Amino acid sequence: MGTHWGQPQSDSLEEELKAVAEDLLVFKWVMSEYALACMVLAVRRGLTRSLEQPELWSEWVPREIVLAATGVG
């Protein structure tokens, strides 16, 4: 990213979108703590089929965090 928000330094749109997504996660603007808590609770209660399908997850509700929090996998 540039020195100021909204001033891209990347050559491609894909690189810029990745940088923006990383910034949103770092500043906790997008990651849903509520969704993560619900998924951890669901997995701990035995609803584990979603963990077998990584394509259902996104960076906004990371599968890896649920795995780490539950010890499953």
Q: Is the pTM of this model over 0.85?
A: no
CA distance 50 to 40: 11
**What residue spans of the chain are helical by DSSP H?**
13-26, 33-44, 63-70
Query: What residues contact 61, with CB distance under 8 A and at least 6 apart?
Result: 31, 32, 35, 36, 39
Query: pLDDT tens string for the chain (73 positions)?
Result: 444 555 556 678 888 878 877 777 677 676 678 888 999 999 999 999 989 998 988 877 889 989 999 988 7
